Structure 1
Amino acid sequence: MKTQPPSGSRGRAGARISNLSPWLSLLCMVIYISVVEASPNHRRSRVSYRMKLPRHYSELRTSTRFLLITFLITWPAWWLNAVLTSAGIIDYSSPIGTAIHTAGVFGPTIAGLSLIPGGFTLKRGLAFTFGGLRRSLPWTSAFLVVPLVLLTAASDGLAEGFSPISAMGVFLAALMVSGGNEELGWRAVLEPELERRIPFFAACLATGAIWGLWHLPLWFTQGAGRETTPFLAFVALAVLLSFWLSALYRAGGCAFSCCLLHALANTLIGVLSLSNISLVIAAALALTGLSLAAFRRRLPIEEVCGGKPEWPAP
């Protein structure tokens, strides 16, 4: 995920938008959860399991191994960047700063691909990424068109310095190296693994909170542009995005669909000059409603857990 520092009146409007819309959509989620999670049928459907202390790495749960790999790759790189930029040794936007940051971005991607059953191969990696794409196509189209149309209508056009061609370049970069690539870990591995043990909405909350915390070093990195965004507001937005992305994944079981939505979100936030707060809130609420509809038509967790082929039993 990415935020841009505000500038002038548009910046203040953007700040109000980013602070308000996540909370309204989260309120809708809370109301829905209070009904669904409290239903007797849902309580009876929960999976029960006994705790078992692992003796070595191979006995750790897949979700635990994923988090270990992810944070051991990302945080050393990003905290190093924070120290070097704060000390004035390098600039965040310099080639070295960019390389260090990019290395950290791939933590979830490497973790997800390394946990493919049977080990990573090109064929398994492609199946893991694109499996279920045709089945997911209607939902993917809806999740992409709704924010694109509403947020474009809510803007005064492209922000200064962007053209349609450069905006497409931002999208491709977000898809491959600055957002979309993360979904091979967060949504394709961690979220479904958690859903096998706790309810869907609790898994979204946990994944979103961990995802938000994962970004913490950026708030200590000079030049990363995060100082204008309150960290807790960012975590709330991460939880909301986690719900949208997880609902899309459960509806079709395709990790690449989530990559596209994540990349689109980063791109629209970065290249549009948002000004109409009502339409931005409408976009957030529309995506929340679409996510609830997708959740109601979700695939069984066994069909999506860990992608294709079968994930090892917990």
Structure 2
Amino acid sequence: MAFRIRRHISTYPVTTFFVVAYLLSWTAWVPLVFSDWWATWAPLVLANDLQTMLFIMVGGFGPLVAAALVTWAIGDSLREWAGQLLRWRVPIRYWVFALLFPAIAVIVASAIHIVVFDGQFDPPSTSVLLLYPVLFLQVFLVGGGNEELGWRGFALPRLQESYSALASSLLIGVGWFAWHLPLFLVSGSSQAGDPVYYYALAVIALSVVFTWVYNETGGSVLATMVLHASVNTSGILYLVGGGTALQTALPNGLLAIVFFVAALVVVAVYGSERLADIDTPERSPGGQ
């Protein structure tokens, strides 16, 4: 029985990864969707926002744990998989891009809001700017960056063995977006109140940009973690009402369009097959 299960996982590793990631994450998140009912039966579990955020953060490790489990189950090297975190010797321009691109995108979306839609310029306070590095580090470790060994470190290189880089990006983008769906119904999550359609466009477009960074850096998951942390933190820099404005339709839509345009530029410049000037990174040998 165990042999047959492993053989099935080896035949469909990416599908198994997504199923396990959803199962692990949604097990933590779905009770939060029904928090009012749940609190009636288990008031000590979901008694306050702090504990709710703890459940959200625990669920965020679903892709990482799923990737580790499937990597082990199919006989691939866990060391090689995790070793993608150590690929830091990449050209400095990619670190600059990972750190600054999301902030620039937010500022561009803000500028459009101000110039075209008469938004009121409201720059972030000094305290917000000082808080940025702290939030960035938190997101890098437990608020998004921790997902990258799953999406890019596991699923992307395997999908690129059978599909183009663009098709692989779109497949991951759809799965990445859908994985977040329960959080749209959880009060206190960063997705609560976001227009779902704009969020979907932004995530799918960003998936293309993330693939470009991963492929151009020879498979550096560390670089995509930095980019992920920057994306999730940069919203507080929005120049028309701050990060909370991005939970309304117009700012959210403008930022999604900026990300979409960035994805189009990547495809136009680098081509859909590899989304890079170099060959796509090869993963370590093992189960297929």
2:154 maps to 189
1:299 maps to 278
Whole-angstrom CA distance in 2 between matches of 1:86 and 1:160: 39
Q: Which moved more, 1:291-300 or 1:185-194?
A: 291-300
Whole-angstrom CA distance in 2 between matches of 1:245 and 1:186: 10
After superposition, the C-alpha distances for 1:242-296 in whole angstroms (9 at most, x for unaligned) are 0110111011110010011111011111x1133497x966676356425654555
Opposite residue 78 of structure 1, the aligned amino acid is W
2:261 aligns with one of 285, 297, 300: 285
After superposition, the C-alpha distances for 1:131-186 in whole angstroms (9 at most, x for unaligned) are 2x213543332343344345346475654694322111111111111111111110
Structure 1 position 266 matched with structure 2 position 232:
yes
* 3-state SS of paired residue (2:238): strand
* Deviation (angstroms), 1:199: 1.9
2:21 aligns with one of 70, 78, 100: 70
2:99 aligns with one of 134, 139, 144: 144
Structure 1 position 209 matched with structure 2 position 169:
no
1:57 maps to 6
Q: Matched residue pairs, number?
A: 252
Whole-angstrom CA distance in 2 between matches of 1:268 and 1:86: 34
Whole-angstrom CA distance in 1 between matches of 2:31 and 2:144: 20
1:128 aligns with one of 84, 94, 107: 84
- For the 8 Å contact 1:184–1:255, the answer to whether it is kept is yes
Whole-angstrom CA distance in 2 between matches of 1:67 and 1:287: 23
Opposite residue 289 of structure 1, the aligned amino acid is V
Greater relative contact order (Cα < 8 A, sep 6+): 1
Return 5+ residue gaps in structure 1 as ranges. 1-53
After superposition, the C-alpha distances for 1:221-252 in whole angstroms (9 at most, x for unaligned) are 23335343222322221110101101110111
Go from structure 1 to structure 2 and tell me whether the alpha carbon gap of 1:76 and 1:296 turns closer, same or farther (over 3 Å shift).
Answer: closer
2:194 aligns with one of 224, 229, 238: 229
Opposite residue 80 of structure 1, the aligned amino acid is P
Go from structure 1 to structure 2 and tell me whether the alpha carbon gap of 1:196 and 1:168 turns closer, same or farther (over 3 Å shift).
Answer: same
CA RMSD of superposed structures (Å): 3.2
Go from structure 1 to structure 2 and tell me whether the alpha carbon gap of 1:197 and 1:257 turns closer, same or farther (over 3 Å shift).
Answer: same
Q: TM-score, normalised by structure 1?
A: 0.68
Go from structure 1 to structure 2 and tell me whether the alpha carbon gap of 1:126 and 1:84 turns closer, same or farther (over 3 Å shift).
Answer: same
2:135 maps to 170
Go from structure 1 to structure 2 and tell me whether the alpha carbon gap of 1:167 and 1:92 turns closer, same or farther (over 3 Å shift).
Answer: farther
- For the 8 Å contact 1:92–1:224, the answer to whether it is kept is no
* 3-state SS of paired residue (1:182): helix
2:52 maps to 97
